[in-house]
Amino acid sequence: MRDLINFYLTELIKLRRTFAFWLTVIGAAIIPLMLIITYIYNWQMFVPATGVNPWSELFARAFNGIILFMPLYIILLIGLIFNIEYKANAWKHLLVLPLSRETMFAGKYLVVFTMVFAFMALFILFTLVAGEILGSFKAELKFGIHRPEFFTVLDFSIKVKTAVLAIISIHFWLGLKVRNLISALGIGLAGIALAVLMNGKGGYADFFPYAYSIMLLNHKLSTDHAKPERFLLVSMAYFLVFSLLAYFQFRRSFKG
């Protein structure tokens, strides 16, 4: 366990001065920043009716934006993480370390999940800051007299992260199998384009991993904890299958 923690922290620190780090920070800020600009220039349109919590609408709009952006972020993030190793020919240096292949695989995977989690956490934080800024700008928007529904936001953020599990595992596997960053990005962009064409609605979209986040568009933020949608369960199934494929690909590619 200590080896895993040390390797994980080393890999995480390695990303501090890379574009992957700034992609996470800046990418998480884009949607909240756009919302601030939109609300300021059209604030009359967003004055809530009596008894309506303006935070709910703000987060609904923010999540709609991040749902479309997040698959692209994940594809770029994983591609950049693997490209660092391939470009610097760093795999050979990692493989001489007195660590098991399982430790290296788990450490790399944990770094990806940490960055995705940080991206979502920063996005929520920046959206909260955006609401506070808007409340200070115009009292009529009523952000100051209402509070965000934190459990509802948390619940929906978990659904978003579950929806992208399939893409994370598929591109982690691709990162080990396809050494060319452009090729991996091309596959991902083609998948996103096809998902948009499907419009994320039923039928084959339920089994197409790139469509799952899009299927959450205009999803009502609710405290109703009903059983998860089928596509979220399928996303978890994809995650298990492609995580195993990625592990075996890692073992095959870097035999000790």
Predicted confidence (pLDDT) per residue in 96-121, tens digit: 677 787 888 899 999 999 999 999 99
- State residue 131's pLDDT score: 93
Report the C-alpha gap between 47 and 246 in whole angstroms: 49
Considering the entire predicted model, what is its pTM? 0.90
169-195: pLDDT as tens digits: 999 999 988 888 888 899 999 999 988
Q: Is pLDDT larger for residue 100 or for residue 55?
A: 55
> What's the per-residue H, E or C state across 170-213?
HHHHHHHHCCCHHHHHHHHHHHHHHHHHHCCCCHHHHHCHHHCC
Cβ contact 217:200 at 8 Å = yes
Mean pLDDT, rounded, for 249-255 = 79
Query: In the structure, what pLDDT confidence band is assigned to residue 256 with cuts at 50, 70 and 90?
Result: low
Report the C-alpha gap between 230 and 226 in whole angstroms: 12
